[in-house]
Amino acid sequence: MPIIEGKRKRCLSLTLTSDIYLKNFLAKGPAMKSMNLVMCSIIGYVGVKDVAQILLDGLERLEYRGYDSAGITGLKDGTFTSVKQLGRVKNLSNAIKPSMNFGNLGIGHTRWATHGKVSVKNAHPHVSFHGLFSIVHNGVIENYESIKQYLAKQGYKFYSETDTEVLVNLIEYHFRKEPDSENRFLVSVQKALLHVRGTYGIAVLCKNNPEEMVIARKSSPLIIGIGKNEMFVASDACAFVAYTKNVVYLNDGELAHITCSDFSITTMKNETIDAVKCELDWKVEDVSRGEHEHFMLKEICEQPISIENAMRGRFSDDLSTAKFGGLQLLPRELRQIDRILFCACGTAWHACLVAEYLIEKYARIPVEVAYSSEFRYGNVPLDKNTLVFIVSQSGETLDSLAALQESKRKGYRTLAITNAIGSTIARESEGGIYQHSGPEIGVASTKAFTAQLCIVAMLALLFGRLHNMGFDEGSEFVQSLLELPKKISQILDKKDEIQRIAKKYANCKDMLFLGRQSMFPIALEGALKLKEISYIHAEGYPAAEMKHGPIALISEQCPCVFLATQKDIWQKNISNIQEVKARNAKIVVVASEGHQISPDHIDDLMEIPDTHDALKPILATIPLQLFAYYIAKARGCDIDKPRNLAKSVTVE
């Protein structure tokens, strides 16, 4: 990200004159550019409890992220005790002997191999050559090879193939050069990080400081959990929510020095930062699977509640429009907006496409939708009354964060729609709307997506009422929104039937999803859900586009899922269904109650309750989520941890 990169360069020239040799050396050395999804997890603890138990508990709660090895290190009486294992956290727990005493300060990690193969040696935590430091690290140190060469010349030896071991040695190198002082530990980490290019979330222990931990972040989330006489750190608050809900999110370029009773935050230049504390509105049950086999199924089933939460307190007293205090815009200012740009990635981008249909239809305001990754490097011309929304469930997606920063740099009012209170995107935006979906743990986004759909429908209502939508139309819209949770429950009650249908399609290799207007993004989402968790190749198209190319794929082996929920374009959908049927493809239809589809034209039907047109995308999504889930289950896929995917993508 250009802004942060600029800061880093200034720091180098300001503070590192004493390290001119290392600086020159690194300037010549190669930088290894890596493009991996960050799937690793960090947990750390300092307090009075048995650290091993807390670390293992935290790592178990973060298991959904996917990993190939795990490890913990405790620091007691000046000695590091470490255990690392390949595979599951359970293997790690089993490897811990009762005689081991990890003390009350420690760090833990689950690793997804990036630099170096999957092996115990490469697993974290890593210890420095002289044994003074232990570290866990998420992210990628791009210039690790040149640092490694430099350190090797200073006599350092390396036992793993990782970039992380290089970083911990760089910290030790600075520590050994640093005069003894109260801040020696923190300053050494600061100095090491000033030489580093890449991304990191790190937690570091130092033998000489047996009651302290230092953490730092750049483009990889880290959160401090504040307890009573104990502190937690984690890459995801799920890890410690059972112990505390009081948190502080670390910003990019910040470090924190933590003891059991206190913490302080500084920048790389050692400026003190005032911590912004917030309280998570999560319950412990939110981060456990409960009676459900997978988080994804649990989260699908939570949608009556998550939709209710997305709406709570957000209607006018006369129930004729929506209100969002977080926008921090007066009705007069909202009326002046004559263009809206939405930026997002993946599933959130699909929610933005629905926003485009709804806001243009109900409020007559032109809407553009951009992939965050395209927007950040493009030069979309926007006029001065453009409002920009960045939509991100996690609030940490790097491309969306960069889009937000680019939009702010250009001077647009930039707001966020996010589920993660206090996340980087939430903090850096100029206001916005929280989804209140509760933590979403399954990698495949479900309840967060429908909450986004609900919010964008409410934005269409809000803008519509400011322009040309009358009181009665607004009241009918609100009424339909209020009925959504009950209608979602009705669909969920039919999940066994959807499972029966899904099983019939579990062996296919390709599938097409087709829909018109606001059902087109839902077709994209249905296809994305299926490919993410079942690995079946699936594509979504506007139904009428089929005859411009995709129809060539249609055969008995390529089933088509039609989203035929709208009354006004009913006949158009029927014609497309017939075109496909004539080519012997199996047809699954999602239709609203009261439809007139003849059973002769289709193979399977998933019915949803009728609702306001603007809300059909929400209801039509639920059977598609269940359909994808049960297909993946029938294929024996690892549903909560699909291959190659991460819950939040904090690298480019």
Catalytic residues: 40, 647
Length of the chain as a residue count: 652
Q: Which is nearer to ligand M6R, 169 or 347 (CB)?
A: 347
Quick one: which of 106, 346, 464, 623 contacts ligand M6R (CB under 6 A)?
346
Q: How far is the CB of 641 from ligand M6R (least distance, A)?
A: 12
Q: Which is nearer to ligand M6R, 110 or 400 (CB)?
A: 400
C-alpha 437/C-alpha 307 separation (Å) is 7
Contacts of residue 197, defined as CB under 8 A and 6 or more positions apart, other chains included, come to 31, 141, 142, 143
Q: How many beta carbons lie within 10 A of that of residue 221, not counting itself?
A: 24
**Binding mask of the shown chain, residues 376 to 415, with x at each position contacting ligand M6R by CB under 6 A:** ----------------xxx--x--x---------------
Q: Which is nearer to ligand M6R, 85 or 394 (CB)?
A: 394
Quick one: which of 595, 648, 650, 651 contacts ligand M6R (CB under 6 A)?
648
Q: How far is the CB of 435 from ligand M6R (least distance, A)?
A: 10
Stretch that binds ligand M6R, among 193-201, 283-291, 438-446, 511-519 (CB under 6 A): 438-446
Query: Using the rule CB under 6 A, is 621 a contact of ligand M6R?
Result: no
Query: Using the rule CB under 6 A, is 454 a contact of ligand M6R?
Result: no
Quick one: which of 135, 192, 443, 577 contacts ligand M6R (CB under 6 A)?
443
Q: Which is nearer to ligand M6R, 400 or 534 (CB)?
A: 400
Q: Which residue is nearest to ligand M6R (CB)?
A: 346
Q: How far is the CB of 14 from ligand M6R (least distance, A)?
A: 34
Distances (CA, A) of 36 to 140, 363, 534: 8, 41, 22
259 burial class (0-12, 13-18, 19+ CB within 10 angstroms)? middle
C-alpha 213/C-alpha 43 separation (Å) is 12
Q: Which is nearer to ligand M6R, 255 or 563 (CB)?
A: 563
**Binding mask of the shown chain, residues 628 to 647, with x at each position contacting ligand M6R by CB under 6 A:** -----------------x--
Q: Provide the 3-class DSSP secondary structure of residue 340.
A: strand
Stretch that binds ligand M6R, among 317-325, 342-350, 374-382, 472-480 (CB under 6 A): 342-350
**Binding mask of the shown chain, residues 556 to 595, with x at each position contacting ligand M6R by CB under 6 A:** ----------------------------------------
Hey, CA dihedral for 324, 327, 329, 334, is it positive or negative?
negative
Strand locations in 192-290, DSSP E?
200-206, 213-218, 223-226, 231-234, 246-249, 254-258, 263-267, 272-273, 277-279
Q: Which is nearer to ligand M6R, 206 or 444 (CB)?
A: 444
Do residues 432 and 460 make contact, with C-beta atoms less than 8 angstroms apart?
A: no
HSE (CB half, 13 Å, CA atoms) of 24?
5
Query: Using the rule CB under 6 A, is 440 a contact of ligand M6R?
Result: no
Q: Can you state the angle between helices 471-492 and 303-311, rounded to 10 degrees? A: 160
Q: How far is the CB of 348 from ligand M6R (least distance, A)?
A: 4
CA angle 398, 400, 402 (to 5 degrees): 70
Q: Which of 113, 101, 102, 91 is nearest to 44 (CA)?
A: 102
Strand 69-76 to 105-111 pairing: antiparallel
Q: Which is nearer to ligand M6R, 428 or 473 (CB)?
A: 428
Q: Which is nearer to ligand M6R, 220 or 400 (CB)?
A: 400
Q: Which is nearer to ligand M6R, 58 or 642 (CB)?
A: 642
Give the interface size with ligand M6R as a residue count (CB under 6 A): 16
Q: How far is the CB of 345 from ligand M6R (least distance, A)?
A: 4
Query: Using the rule CB under 6 A, is 138 a contact of ligand M6R?
Result: no
Query: Using the rule CB under 6 A, is 526 a contact of ligand M6R?
Result: no
Which residues are bridge partners to 1 per DSSP?
none
Stretch that binds ligand M6R, among 136-144, 437-445, 536-544, 600-608 (CB under 6 A): 437-445
Q: What is the CA radius of gyration of the chain?
A: 26
Query: Using the rule CB under 6 A, is 299 a contact of ligand M6R?
Result: no
Query: Using the rule CB under 6 A, is 450 a contact of ligand M6R?
Result: no
Q: Which is nearer to ligand M6R, 525 or 607 (CB)?
A: 525
Query: For 377, which DSSP code?
Result: H
Query: Using the rule CB under 6 A, is 649 a contact of ligand M6R?
Result: yes
C-alpha 195/C-alpha 307 separation (Å) is 46
Contacts of residue 80, defined as CB under 8 A and 6 or more positions apart, other chains included, come to 73, 74, 127, 131, 134, 205, 207
Query: Using the rule CB under 6 A, is 237 a contact of ligand M6R?
Result: no
Phi and psi angles of residue 130, each rounded to the nearest 5 degrees, phi first: -90, 5
Query: Using the rule CB under 6 A, is 224 a contact of ligand M6R?
Result: no
Q: Which is nearer to ligand M6R, 343 or 363 (CB)?
A: 343
C-alpha 430/C-alpha 287 separation (Å) is 29
Query: Using the rule CB under 6 A, is 534 a contact of ligand M6R?
Result: no
Quick one: which of 230, 532, 539, 640 contacts ligand M6R (CB under 6 A)?
532
Q: How far is the CB of 440 from ligand M6R (least distance, A)?
A: 9
Quick one: which of 22, 107, 345, 631 contacts ligand M6R (CB under 6 A)?
345
Query: Using the rule CB under 6 A, is 437 a contact of ligand M6R?
Result: no
Phi and psi angles of residue 280, each rounded to the nearest 5 degrees, phi first: -75, 140
C-alpha 554/C-alpha 550 separation (Å) is 7
C-alpha 457/C-alpha 495 separation (Å) is 25
Query: Using the rule CB under 6 A, is 355 a contact of ligand M6R?
Result: no
Contacts of residue 34, defined as CB under 8 A and 6 or more positions apart, other chains included, come to 114, 115, 140, 142, 198, 651
Query: Using the rule CB under 6 A, is 373 a contact of ligand M6R?
Result: no
Using CB under 6 A, list all residues that contact ligand M6R: 345-348, 392-394, 397, 400, 443-445, 532, 645, 648-649
